[in-house]
Amino acid sequence: MTAPKKLFIKTYGCQMNVYDSERMAEALGGQGYIETQNADDADMILLNTCHIREKAAEKVYSELGRFKGLKAENPDLKIGVAGCVAQAEGEEIMRRQPLVDLVVGPQSYHRLPEMEARTRTGEKALDTDFPEEDKFEKLKSWPKAARGPTAFLTVQEGCDKFCAFCVVPYTRGAEVSRPADRILTEARDLVERGVREITLLGQNVNAYHGAGPGGDLTLAQLIWELDKIDGLARIRFTTSHPNDMADDLIEAHGTCSKLMPYLHLPVQSGSDHILKRMNRSHTADSYLRLIERIRTARPDILLSGDFIVGFPEETEADFQATLDLIEEVGYGYAYSFKYSTRPGTPAAERPQVEEDVKSDRLQRLQALITHQQRAVQDSMIDKEISVLFEKPGRQEGQMGGKSEYLHAVHVANAKVNVGDIRKVRVIGSGTNSLSGKLV
User: Considering just the CA atoms, what is the radius of gyration of the chain in Å?
Assistant: 22
Q: What count of other Cβ atoms lies within 10 Å of the Cβ of residue 222?
A: 27
Let me know whether 367 and 390 are in one domain: no
402 with 150: CB under 8 angstroms?
Answer: yes
- The binding site for [4Fe-4S] cluster consists of 14, 50, 84, 159, 163, 166
* pLDDT of 136: 61
Let me know whether 285 and 311 are in one domain: yes
Let me know whether 353 and 208 are in one domain: yes
Q: Which domain holds residue 428?
A: 384-438
Of 377, 399, 417, the last residue of a domain is 377
Would you give the distance in Å from CA 202 to the centre of its chain?
A: 8
Let me know whether 78 and 149 are in one domain: no
- The binding site consists of 14, 50, 84, 159, 163, 166
The strand pairing partners of 262, in sequence order, are: 302
Overall size of the chain counted in residues: 439
Let me know whether 312 and 399 are in one domain: no
Kindly report, residue by residue over 150-204, the tens digit of the pLDDT: 999 999 988 999 999 988 887 778 899 999 999 999 999 999 999 999 999 998 9
Kindly report, residue by residue over 296-310, the tens digit of the pLDDT: 999 999 999 999 999
Let me know whether 57 and 196 are in one domain: no
Residue 270 is part of a domain; what is its CATH number?
3.80.30.20
Residue 412 is part of a domain; what is its CATH number?
2.40.50.140
Percent of the chain with pLDDT over 70: 95
Let me know whether 97 and 145 are in one domain: no
> How many Å apart are CA 111 and CA 45, to the nearest integer?
17
Let me know whether 83 and 175 are in one domain: no
* pLDDT of 85: 83
Of 109, 127, 145, the last residue of a domain is 127
Q: What count of other Cβ atoms lies within 10 Å of the Cβ of residue 13?
A: 18
Residue 420: φ, ψ to 5°: -70, 145
Mean pLDDT of 77-87: 89
Kindly report, residue by residue over 213-259, the tens digit of the pLDDT: 889 999 999 999 999 999 999 999 999 999 999 999 999 999 999 99
176 with 169: CB under 8 angstroms?
Answer: no
Beta strand 5-11 with 33-35: parallel, antiparallel or unpaired?
parallel
Kindly report, residue by residue over 378-434, the tens digit of the pLDDT: 999 999 999 999 998 878 889 999 999 999 999 998 899 999 999 999 999 998 899
Let me know whether 270 and 301 are in one domain: yes
Residue 95 is part of a domain; what is its CATH number?
3.40.50.12160
* pLDDT of 16: 79
Let me know whether 354 and 234 are in one domain: yes
Domain count within the chain: 3
Let me know whether 194 and 338 are in one domain: yes
Let me know whether 118 and 156 are in one domain: no
Of 328, 350, 377, the last residue of a domain is 377
Kindly report, residue by residue over 135-151, the tens digit of the pLDDT: 566 555 545 555 789 99
